[in-house]
């Protein structure tokens, strides 16, 4: 019997969570794409934002279900209050993550984490402190991204982003509107948009996950799957799975308007 071949790791993807999350909790919320990355041969690193949030920092009520607020370890990348805005702690955390886990072949961020990624992409090598870092970096996945409007951030948007970027937007997202996300897309020279019929979250439907990984593989090595060619029987199986997934999703969406 031939020993099972160990899949080669193609590279590491750095992941930035959203506001009032942390690396561990977001790894669970984004388990669909995390597992898809792993299956495709990519390692993911989920890190914590630099700010440990207190009740006074929250622009919305947090249900603790009896757990002490401090034990929730809710993290942020920047404060939501304009007079407290400071991007530097986030830049420091990204640099430290690069020193410990880099270089990174890809970056991924959700909501506030995506906002931070969008800000640093044109200055990535400078932020992580390695002039060769940008040569190794191949892509960025941006979920519900946006452009920071604080005046201190203008220097981060003085150049267009050349890195291939995949922007995912929820058609029902009321936290970061599609129009707001489009402003970040407009700053990217090599962008692709994928939409899902949901709200403010990282989607995990199989058809979309397959499309995301196919995009990544095409950007990295020009292939949409490991062999570069999909077998007919696999295509039929995927088509059937996709139809069932979409049918189930349509039923769920139809229930939204029911009492």
Q: Which of 25, 48, 90, 111 is catalytic?
A: 111
What is the rounded distance in angstroms from the CA atom of residue 107 to the CA atom of residue 132?
16
Q: Specify whether the CB–CB gap between 167 and 194 falls below 8 A.
A: yes
Q: Which of 25, 48, 122, 173 is catalytic?
A: 173
Is residue 17 annotated as part of the catalytic site, yes or no? no
Is residue 227 annotated as part of the catalytic site, yes or no? no
Report the run of H or E that residue 113 belongs to, with start and end. Answer: helix 112-120
Query: By C-alpha distance, which of 172, 180, 125, 124 is closest to 147?
Result: 180
Dihedral pair phi/psi, residue 142, rounded to 5°: -125, 110
Six-digit token string for 150: 């604080």
Is residue 200 annotated as part of the catalytic site, yes or no? yes
Please list the residues that pair with 143 across neighbouring strands.
110, 168
Q: Which of 200, 204, 211, 242 is catalytic?
A: 200
Q: Specify whether the CB–CB gap between 132 and 113 falls below 8 A.
A: no
If one counts every other C-beta atom within 10 angstroms of the C-beta of residue 241, the result is 13
At 11 the three-state DSSP class reads: strand
| Active site residue ranges | 111, 173, 200
């Amino acid at each position: 019997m031939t020993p099972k071949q160990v899949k080669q790791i193609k590279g590491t993807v750095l992941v930035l969570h959203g506001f009032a999350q942390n690396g561990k909790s977001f790894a669970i919320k984004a388990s669909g794409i995390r597992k898809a990355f792993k299956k495709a041969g990519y390692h993911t690193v989920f890190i914590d934002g630099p700010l440990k949030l207190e009740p006074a920092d929250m622009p919305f009520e947090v249900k603790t279900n009896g757990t002490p607020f401090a034990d929730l370890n809710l993290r942020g990348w920047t404060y939501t209050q304009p007079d407290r805005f400071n991007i530097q702690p986030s830049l420091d955390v990204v640099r430290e993550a690069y020193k410990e886990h880099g270089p990174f072949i890809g970056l991924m961020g959700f909501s506030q984490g995506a906002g931070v990624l969008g800000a640093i992409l044109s200055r990535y090598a400078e932020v992580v402190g390695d002039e060769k870092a940008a040569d190794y970096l191949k892509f960025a996945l941006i979920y519900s991204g946006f452009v920071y409007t604080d005046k201190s951030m203008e220097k981060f948007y003085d150049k267009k982003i050349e890195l291939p970027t995949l922007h995912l937007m929820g058609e029902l997202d009321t936290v970061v509107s599609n129009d707001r996300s489009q402003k970040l897309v407009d700053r990217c020279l090599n962008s692709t948009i994928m939409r899902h019929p949901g709200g403010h979250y990282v989607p995990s439907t199989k058809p979309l996950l397959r499309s995301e990984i196919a995009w990544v593989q095409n950007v990295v090595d020009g292939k949409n799957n490991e062999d570069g060619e999909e077998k007919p029987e696999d295509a039929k199986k995927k088509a059937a799975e996709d139809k069932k997934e979409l049918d189930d999703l349509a039923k769920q969406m139809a229930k939204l308007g029911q009492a």
